Amino acid sequence: MINASLKQLSAQLAAKKISSVELTQLYLDRIAALNPDLNAYITVNPELSLAQAREADARIAAGKAEALTGIPIAQKDIFCAKGWLTTCGSKMLHNFVSPYDAHVIGQFNNAGAVNLGKTNMDEFAMGSSNETSYYGPVKNPWDKTRVPGGSSGGTAAAVAARLCAAATGTDTGGSIRQPAALCGVSGLKPTYGVCSRYGMIAFASSLDQAGPMAKSAEDLALLLNVMAGFDERDSTSLQREREDYARDLAKPLNGLRIGLPKEFFAEGLGNDVGLAVQAAITEYKKLGATVVDISLPNSRLSVPVYYVLAPAEASSNLSRFDGVRYGYRAPEYVDLADLYEKSRAQGFGTEVKRRILIGTYVLSHGYYDAYYIKAQKIRRLIAQDFSNAFKQCDIIMGPTSPSTAFKLGEKGDDPVQMYLSDIYTIAVNLAGLPGMSIPCGFGENAMPVGLQIIGNYFDEARMLNAAHQYQLATDWHSRAPQGL
């Protein structure tokens, strides 16, 4: 049951072979047994989850079920959920119980899905290893001495360890795709604006985007059908006609043109990762696709550009956490300024403080033009590179991460090396494009390798088609960690 697809689970529920309450309890039992070691969840509330499951069973009995009705979905702890502790992995929000639902949470509630719990994450989504969480690091289910990736590491670990049927994540610079690759699951970052950011605690507003994580591309399509949609409460939400992201899954890949950026296969790419990705490309050729060599010349600048723009936006977004209205408040202070200083000093972790300081610096008088404006200009060039590339190909493929999962603590003292973990994913966010990662093999130490697929704007259905056809021909996505 825990290895079943969302479609199979839905069929089981519809046929009354299992109830939503029983399915939810199955996952709750697995969480109780395995989460103390993996640390994939921050908050589990069986009472709330089972109440939703009972409502779902009643909905199924009344013949009003939808595709995800009764299915337990884990939610990244960056999404506000009414009545649930919502921490964003930070001491700053350790006691914040949300009074409202994020748009994405509301969409799942409307579909009748069950909120199974809130998954662990890097503090305020700032990190690539899930080691910056106030609640401690998440362990990779494939090797508990290694990181699961970040910032959606708890979500990726929960899906890989079968502690949920599927889950949500967010992606600011690769935070869905990179942990999906390191944990051997599938994850998709939609086109910027396709999923509402309302109720999603902000890190970098022009980059953040919600997306699904699951075992397969087919599951991702079903999840995105629920998550996507216009929301008037979010000024960046795009008003478009709803679409069925599963509509093209069965299409053959004959004639599909795959672009391979030479910059993605250069120095810095692990040999084991490169071999697995090349083997996946060979499989795509067998499926009827053709390969085109392309170039993304400015992608090498994506990391420095990102670490100017993202901290700048973070320094603005996180100014709301002042110890006054909600969240952590320092227990002792002498005046208002002292309250601000001590609450932030005690409430934020090291990485968050580092990025706030960088962001405040690049936005300060005398440095705004030299850093922030220049980074915005290069961002435009990066987007133009993709535009030129898509004149030659339909989708772009390459590695998701330069290496497989590294050891816990291995890069904690070297922020630059940690930042380079996202070197292949960041450019997609800067351009606002959709991207995804699917399992394509194993590298050194028998750790998963992810294949990144990048599409043109609003081309999620084509990407999902390419991923699904590959997964029909291979079984990498169905592999699960042993002993769990």
Active-site choice (19, 76, 91, 118): 76
Question: Does residue 98 carry a catalytic annotation?
Answer: no
d(C-alpha 148, C-alpha 184), whole Å: 10
Active-site choice (10, 129, 133, 151): 151
Is 326 within 8 Å of 96 (Cβ atoms)?
yes
Active-site choice (20, 152, 175, 401): 175
Question: Does residue 175 carry a catalytic annotation?
Answer: yes
Instruction: Please name the residues in contact with 73: beta carbons below 8 A apart, sequence gap of 6 or more.
Output: 108, 113, 114, 115, 116, 164, 165, 166, 167, 168, 223
Question: Pairing state of beta strands 257-261 and 290-294?
Answer: parallel
Is 39 within 8 Å of 137 (Cβ atoms)?
yes
Q: Sheet of 210-214: strands edge to edge?
A: 41-43, 114-119, 72-76, 166-170, 210-214, 186-189, 435-442, 448-455, 395-399, 257-261, 290-294
Instruction: Please name the residues in contact with 168: beta carbons below 8 A apart, sequence gap of 6 or more.
Output: 73, 74, 75, 76, 79, 104, 155, 210, 211, 212, 213, 223, 227
Question: Does residue 285 carry a catalytic annotation?
Answer: no
The residue assigned the tokens 């394509």 is 440
Region of residue 24 (left: phi > 0; alpha: psi -120 to 50; beta: else):
alpha
Residues annotated as catalytic are: 76, 151, 175
